[in-house]
Each structure stands twice: as structure tokens, then as C-alpha cells.
Structure 1
């Protein structure tokens, strides 16, 4: 064997590097298309070759991996109101009206209390 490098990246391990890259790129593209992530967040694909030679340095085991760093999902915020029930135990419900104790018109056109329970229909 000559002293030059005779290994081609595209054919190493029967093309595993290319296959792993395509898998991670698919994840990155799906993450970019997801409206629940920040559009401008940088995504990354890292391909790692770990080379472990044997004791006599005549052969080496090569491990190939690919990992992607994706944008996390956007944070979703809500507000809960807290109180105690009739037995004095802590109780909570999601605040739907925007203000504790305030009624509002829900998406169905009904009047609802601050936690979204329907009070009456308007029509």
C-alpha cells in the first residue's frame, strides 16, 4: 500500500456517511418548516468519525455518527388562577378571560366565565 490516503469519504462504509447526512438533513429541514420553532435559529449537522487504532497500528476501527442540533419549540405561556375549594384544598384552573373574575365571549359566541365555562348563549 502506498503512503497516500486511498479512502474516499463518499464510499467509506458503503456510503454510510452520505446516508447519515441525509437523515439528519431531513430532521433539520422539518425543524425549519415547523412554525412552532424560531425561524432564525441556527441549526447544525455534525458528522463525526472516531478512529481507534489497534495496538500494532496496522488497522483501525472507524465509528461514524451524525447528529443534528435543532431549534427548540417555542415556549407556550398561559396563566392559571389559584384558590381553594369548598373543603379548603388547593384548586387551580386556566385563566381564559384575561382577567380574574371577568366574563368574556368565547370562540363559539357564548358568554363564559374566566375559566372558559359557558354561562349562556348570546343568540
Structure 2
């Protein structure tokens, strides 16, 4: 006796197998999973007969085993606020206190807040004098 999975249970077995295969394919192309991990599909046919062994019920189960998603890491800056409460923010720049250029091309602080204007530096420049500078007379540390 040959069993045709396409016609078994009016095609429901083939549909279950196809649905699990689609899940495996989606998991294969997911960039958040490890491509070297194995995926599998298990098709289980469970038979249960009556007392006379004349009629048998067949339950079909299709289960896929997928690769788990990779862990995602993040770094947080933690400290205390002005009132002593603990506060924390995700570190976006990679280095505390360092500004960076975000995905939109804007300058942002280390926690991802966009910088709207540069800090103004005083532009008062001392007038240029035409004198000889004696470096020996300058203060040193």
C-alpha cells in the first residue's frame, strides 16, 4: 500500500507540511538567526484503532524546529539625577560624552538626542600686536 501525502486527509497533511516549510524558509533568511544552526520539520502520523482493529483514526501533526533569534546587546549610561533618583539612558554613540552622526545624518548627543545648534564660542579676538614674543618669559606649568 502506498500513501500519497498530497491526498491524505483531503490534502490537509500536505498543507500542514507546506506551512511548516514556509516557517523554516522564513527562519532561514532571517538575519537575526544563526545560518549554521540546523532547522527541521517533523511529520508525525499517530494511529489509534478501535477494539475490533477494523477502523483506525490517523492524527497528523507537523512541527518545525527553528533556529532561535540571536541576542541583541545594548549599553546603558546609569547615574543619579539632581534629586538623587537613579536614571538611565541607552548609550547610542558608543562612548560616554561623545557626539556622533545618527542614521539621518544629524549630529546627536551620546544618548541620541539631536543637537540643534552648536555651542557658541566667544568670537572676541585680541588685536594682533606687532611685537616679538619672548617664549622664555611665558609661564609654564
1:87 is the counterpart of 2:83? yes
1:8 is the counterpart of 2:3? yes
CA distance in 2, matches of 1:121, 1:52: 75
CA distance in 1, matches of 2:101, 2:13: 56
1:30-51 Cα deviation digits (max 9, x unpaired): 2112222222221101101111
CA distance in 1, matches of 2:102, 2:3: 63
Moved more, 40-49 or 55-64: 55-64
Secondary structure of 2:8's counterpart equals helix
- Compute the TM-score of the two structures, normalised by the length of structure 2: 0.70
Would you tell me which structure has more strand in proportion to its own residues? 1
2:133 is matched with which residue?
none
1:26 is the counterpart of 2:22? yes
- Compute the TM-score of the two structures, normalised by the length of structure 1: 0.79
Pick the aligned partner of 2:36 from 21, 36, 40: 40
Structure 2: gaps spanning 5 or more residues: 119-141
How far apart are 1:121 and its partner, in Å? 5.1
1:51 is the counterpart of 2:47? yes
1:62-105 Cα deviation digits (max 9, x unpaired): 11010111122222111111112222222110001212233333
Q: Which has the larger radius of gyration?
A: 2
CA distance in 1, matches of 2:25, 2:114: 42
Which structure carries more relative contact order (alpha carbon 8 Å, separation 6+)? Answer: 1
